[in-house]
């Protein structure tokens, strides 16, 4: 299935192959916990009730669950980034399992446009179900500006 697979009938338990070609980002803030990068795809939603700053933070510890569960990666890694650095942001080809699906009509106000109508909560495909907690997933926003490619590999 191609970019963002907007009309795919996804189901909880599906295993997906996801990827996103890297795009150039710029590091705008670094703390001891994370490095914030200007998000290369989405635009700030001027009609939103939220004030998204156009950035995404990446954990600066390779052991952080925020890093280990994140689909998007930076090159170089966030712990090697400094303010003003350029980096690549993308998703290396990864197998994930859907743990939750959110569908929204009207599309969800998240602070950026396009507003997502479907969000997939995902974990690595080999992540043990018995270890799963609410905070252990990342989100794929369907019909987002990021050129995420999604393919259903297996259905449970």
Checking if the pLDDT of 83 tops 70, the result is yes
In a domain, 2, yes or no: no
In a domain, 8, yes or no: no
Checking if the pLDDT of 5 tops 70, the result is no
Q: What is the pLDDT of residue 134?
A: 67
Q: Which domain holds residue 72?
A: 15-154
Q: What are the tens digits of pLDDT across the range 98-156?
A: 999 999 999 999 999 999 999 999 999 988 777 677 667 899 998 888 999 999 999 97
Give pTM, 2 decimals: 0.87
Q: What is the domain count for the chain? A: 1
Segment 26-52 shows an average pLDDT of: 94
φ, ψ for residue 142, nearest 5 deg = -75, 150
């Amino acid at each position: 299935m191609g970019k963002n697979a907007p009309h795919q009938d996804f189901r909880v338990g599906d295993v997906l192959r996801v990827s996103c070609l890297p795009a150039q980002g710029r590091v705008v803030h670094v703390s001891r916990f994370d490095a914030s990068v200007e998000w290369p795809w989405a635009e700030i939603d001027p009609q939103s009730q939220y004030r998204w700053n156009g950035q995404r933070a990446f954990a600066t510890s390779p052991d952080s669950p925020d890093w280990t569960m994140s689909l998007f990666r930076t090159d170089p890694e966030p712990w090697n980034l400094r303010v003003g650095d350029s980096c690549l942001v993308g998703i290396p080809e990864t197998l994930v399992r859907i743990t939750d699906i959110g569908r929204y009509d009207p599309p969800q106000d998240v602070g950026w446009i396009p507003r997502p109508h479907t969000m997939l909560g995902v974990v690595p495909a080999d992540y043990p179900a018995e270890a799963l907690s609410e905070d252990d997933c990342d989100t794929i926003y369907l019909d987002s500006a990021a050129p995420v490619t999604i393919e259903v590999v297996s259905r449970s």
